[in-house]
Structure formats: C-alpha cells, structure tokens
Amino acid sequence: MNPKALGAEFIGTFWLVLGGCGAAVLAANFGGTPEGTSLGLGFLGVSLAFGLTVVTGAYALGPISGGHFNPAVTLGLVAGGRFEAAKAVGYIVAQVLGGLAAAAVLFAIASGNSDFAITNSDPGAFAANGYGDLSPGGFTLISAFLTEVVMTAMFLIIILGATAKKAAPAMGGLAIGLGLVLIHLISIPVTNTSVNPARSTSQAIFAGGDYLPQLWLFWVAPIVGAIAGALIYRGVLGDNEDVVV
C-alpha cells in the first residue's frame, strides 16, 4: 500500500468534511443584516461548498490517490473494475480517519462561540445525516434509503464517465464536483445528504444521541448505490478498455 496515497485520501476526506460540513455548521444560518438581508449560505452555499472541496481535492490530490475521499466511491470503483480490491480497506480506513479529524477540528472551532451547542434530537445537528425526526424535511426511512441509493448510484456513473479514457481528462474533477453540488441540492432536505459513509460517521459521532442508531443507513445505502451505479455503467455504458483490474 502506497503511504502517499493513504495520506492523500486522509487529507482529501479531511478537506471534504471540513469544507462541506464546516459551511453547514458555521455559515449556513449565520444570520442577517438589520435590513433583513440574510448573510447565511443556505442550501445552495452548502451544496457548493461540498462540490468545491471535491473539485479542489480532485485536482490537488487525485494524481496521488485517485481522489476517492469516500468509502462508497472506493467500493464502487472496485465494482466498476477501476480499482484493486486489495487496496480498498486501507483507503476506507484513511477516509474515515480523515473525516473524524475534520469533525474534531470543526467541533473545536465551533466551540469557540459561546452560543454553540449540539442538540442531538434536532434535524441536521452538527451537519449530521438522519431520517424520520432527524431528517431536515421529515422524510421517512424508506425515502432516505431510496434517496441515498439513487444519488450515490448517479454519483458513480458521473465519476466513471468523467474519468473514462474517452472523456476529457482535464474536466473530470469539475464534472464530479458539480455532480456532487447537484446531489446536495436535491437531497439536503431528505437526509442532509450523505452519499459518503466517512462524512456521515464523523458527524454522527460528534452529534451523538439519536444519530448513532441511524448511522447504519448512511453506510448501507451509499455502498449499495455505488455498487449498483458502477455495475450499471460497466454493463450498459462502459468500454472494456476502461477496466483496469
């Protein structure tokens, strides 16, 4: 296992969680001016923040590790024939640790505000993912599961298509990042958008309470979706020349 690749996955996932969840925790509902103008980022800003972390991480770190930053992506790439299964466990461990480190930094920053508190029964607490009472829009477990499966499947189709040999190589990171923006715009109201078990784990551990028993969904659904998306792409859209393992 290449230690530089593991380091890149750690840093990339750290950046994704710090940038995306940091925008949600620190800036999404920042407040407004006396004239009533909102200064917060809202859903659109948080969606862009997640996408920008992937764009910047893909170009800076992708040449070192491939720029997965997500256990579901790693396993989807294995299913799609783009990544060696033997390397997957190391990547996933690095990604989870990177996410946890980012959540710890974010918690330390947020705790510097005397008004900061995590109410772990509120939807979206500490940018955590949830369903039912913990869904931002009150969506059920079935809706949340379906959303995470479909969104992650489409994410893998975008990734595999944007990184295919026939694709424009310089545009891959941008397409993948914009795809993640769109995914967040669709699904923040449903689950607060996971499509990434490392991101969900880091926030659930710090949010605690009712979020921990729901964490299973944000591992199972993204992984199911990622594998399904990879198999769909490989079976319907892909070329044999793109399969490397």
* 165: in domain: yes
Report, as an integer, the average pLDDT of 8-13.
98
* 164: in domain: yes
* 40: in domain: yes
Output the CA torsion 46→230→63→178 (10° steps). Answer: -30
Q: What is the spatial distance between Cα 239 and Cα 160, in angstroms, rounded to a whole number? A: 11
Q: What is the spatial distance between Cα 209 and Cα 43, in angstroms, rounded to a whole number? A: 24
Cβ–Cβ < 8 Å for 203, 103: yes
What is the pLDDT confidence band of residue 17, given thresholds at 50, 70 and 90? very high
**Tally of structural domains, the chain:** 1
What is the pLDDT confidence band of residue 40, given thresholds at 50, 70 and 90? confident
Cβ–Cβ < 8 Å for 118, 130: no
* 90: in domain: yes
Q: Specify the DSSP class assigned to residue 38.
A: B
Look up the pTM and report it. 0.95
Per-residue pLDDT, 238: 79
Count of CB atoms within 10 A of residue 101's CB? 17
Cβ–Cβ < 8 Å for 16, 53: yes
34-48, 86-100, 140-154: which range is least confident on average?
34-48
Domain span at residue 11 reads 3-238
Average pLDDT, the chain: 94
Q: Apex CA 201: angle with CA 198 and CA 76, to 5°?
A: 35
* 244: in domain: no
End-to-end CA distance of the chain: 16
* Partners of residue 32 on adjacent β-strands: 38
What is the pLDDT confidence band of residue 35, given thresholds at 50, 70 and 90? low
* 45: in domain: yes
* 245: in domain: no
- The structure tokens 């790439």 sit at 77
Q: Write the CATH number for 135.
A: 1.20.1080.10
* 127: in domain: yes
Q: What is the spatial distance between Cα 25 and Cα 106, in angstroms, rounded to a whole number? A: 8
Report, as an integer, the average pLDDT of 12-36.
87
84-93, 116-125, 196-205: which range is least confident on average?
116-125
pLDDT, tens only, 186-239 = 999 999 999 999 999 999 999 999 999 999 999 999 999 999 999 999 999 977
Is 33 a residue whose pLDDT tops 60?
Answer: no
